[in-house]
Structure 1
């Protein structure tokens, strides 16, 4: 009852945040353990950090309302990959996880404004670490 009274004044969640939440639910169903969401450092932000078996997985989530112009995963270009590599290395250092296996996944979400549920595509091991920070095994 209280929620229905408050709902009209509640700010709607952004498309990006809804996409990250949907991606986290999707990955949990696959057996991933989510250990961090929206992890920020001075270098930027990692959308999701998860564990799949014995591998630390850095997940970049891209959410769009349509894929008419380009697929959401196309936004993870070489520049973004280099940035994610630096962010991942920083995360592994901060948490003393440099000896762990790590990889990068991309979750592409298409969520039209009229749809209640998104279309989710998961790309495990989407790219190799790039730049000078290739410390992954």
Structure 2
């Protein structure tokens, strides 16, 4: 499958994401993912999937940046929790994301395309209608564990 056909399929499946809708009744993590998708679209990324999961694990967002497939982990915290959201993407989590990403690339015949792992940290204070801060880390980590592949 080409990136072009992947984008065409995604534009039909995720049409409401193109308009940046955030569901105020959604759980905190889901609202964080929606805000992260909006941020990526503002940066001209094409969001092609959300909450993509299989037996290997779950990937919060999958996007295309130019000709690179980007697997995005979103970490959302309310202002009352200490620490940085991105610190919660530990080695075990990176390994699960790597395995899920590799399975996605194989399933869609995209192994010949560049891929990378990004993290979006979201601070969303309790009771607020919008996040107070979003921070996007491109190339946040390398492939981990048995699912590694060459760059």
> What is the alpha-carbon distance in structure 2 between the residues aligned to residue 91 and residue 77 of structure 1?
21
**Residue 116 (structure 2) pairs with residue 103 (structure 1):** yes
Counterpart position of 1:60: 73
| TM-score, normalised with respect to structure 1 | 0.88
CA displacement 1:103-135 (0-9 Å, x = unmatched)? 000000000013332110000000011112221
> What is the alpha-carbon distance in structure 2 between the residues aligned to residue 99 and residue 129 of structure 1?
16
For structure 2, list consecutive stretches of 5 or more residues without a partner in the other structure: 1-23
Counterpart position of 2:16: none
1:124 pairs, out of 108, 130, 138, with: 138
> What is the alpha-carbon distance in structure 1 between the residues aligned to residue 59 and residue 146 of structure 2?
19
For structure 1, list consecutive stretches of 5 or more residues without a partner in the other structure: 1-10
Larger radius of gyration: 1
Measured after TM superposition, the shift of residue 12 of structure 1 is 2.2
| TM-score, normalised with respect to structure 2 | 0.80
C-alpha spacing 1:67/1:86, structure 2 compared with 1 (3 Å): farther
Q: Give yes or no for contact 2:76–2:121 (8 Å, CA) kept in 1.
A: yes
Counterpart position of 1:85: 98
Runs of 4+ in 1 over 6 A off after TM superposition: none
> What is the alpha-carbon distance in structure 2 between the residues aligned to residue 58 and residue 20 of structure 1?
13
Q: In the comparison of the two structures, how many residue pairs are matched?
A: 127
CA RMSD of the aligned region, Å? 1.4
